[in-house]
Structure 1
């Protein structure tokens, strides 16, 4: 359940720590290929994205890609584009309503980004099979699904988790729920990686959720992990 806390939302949950089922679930997903058929819309979206990425990279050998998954209204996407002029920042969110709000958040005059509505369960698998130079992958404040029974709706408990380590050189995940970050870290450790977890704060909030959480005194937690072999 989520309840109001000041001007943001505070997570309440019936889960007191890392799920007892986490290791079993993660190992199952790592050992079994996720074979769900791709939706036609996902294939069309990926084809359009691939054309844009190919054209962008062809112009300069120093260019690279940044993924901004669960980008919401795209404020973080624009922020990352402004900070990384040699990158094409790809923001992806499942909500058409949120994606259409991007025009209200163009606080920087940048053009090196693209916002897409898409299903990450499909697009992550498709992108993982490319050789795109993806330096960073951000997952900022994803839906935490805080009920204990919803572990497999969280990204680290989902079947698509096995694609995440294949997507970028570095992964950055933030949440205002410490258990989500702790679970994600343990999932990556099960996959043979070495994540770092810390409290996070900055002078500039990157997303509307981050801004609201900090305004109400909530703490953000961040996971960073090198995904390079």
Structure 2
């Protein structure tokens, strides 16, 4: 694990993040607000949804919820267009920078039932630590967006760091557990599992009362 992780997490807690919002993220958020209010269902966020298969799978697993998939890449999201053919679908996609979108969602008072972070880019080089979710200035914002959280990765160090950061911010202990998926939520999960790589997840719930 990165030796300066907790120092960086604490610095971010003490110093507000002041990055200007990208215009396309603001537009995406306004569009998402309309979609979600129109759906009228409990909300699931699929942050970093990539090509959308995880959003679709979560929508099948939770038909009484509305699943919003968010990704920064227009190219990746273009591959999800075929999933949008069903007019009765309980999911949608928006293109936005997560680190713009999360604070806007908090500011708007979004109530999120479940929040998924599935196989994020681990940014394994030490110099890229702050690109990992748990070392980014908006990590504490992320932890305000959900009652139930689930992170999956094939890189154990990523989960160990995430667990340590959660403990530092929220003062709770969470477990890392190995997984043997019967249903692949993402193409990465399928690829990693078939190739024999170990897969792990962190699941935890927060009492928002």
TM bracket, shorter-chain basis: over 0.9
2:185 equivalent to 1:211: no
- Count of residue correspondences: 207
Query: Partners of 1:149 and 1:117 in 2: how far apart?
Result: 27
**1:147-203 superposed Cα distances (whole Å, 9 cap, x missing partner):** 122111111011111201100101111110000000001000001233221111221
User: Within 5 Å, which residues of 2 pair with 1:13-32?
Assistant: 18-32=1-15
- Secondary structure at 1:159 match in 2: coil
- The alpha-carbon deviation at position 109 of structure 1 amounts to 8.6
C-alpha root-mean-square deviation of aligned residues, in Å?
1.7
Distance 2:198 2:85 in 1: 25
Asked whether the equivalents of residues 82 and 110 of structure 1 are also in contact (C-alpha less than 8 Å), the reply is no
Give the TM-score of the pair, scaled to structure 1.
0.86
Q: Which runs of 5+ in 1 are unaligned?
A: 1-17, 58-62
The answer as to whether partners of 2:111 and 2:145 remain within 8 angstroms in 1 is no
Match 1:150 to one of 120, 128, 141: 128
TM-score, normalised to structure 2, is: 0.93
Mapping 1:124-139, distance limit 5 Å = 124-139=102-117
Partner of 1:50: 33
The structural deviation recorded for 1:207 is 0.3
Distance 1:130 1:51 in 2: 12
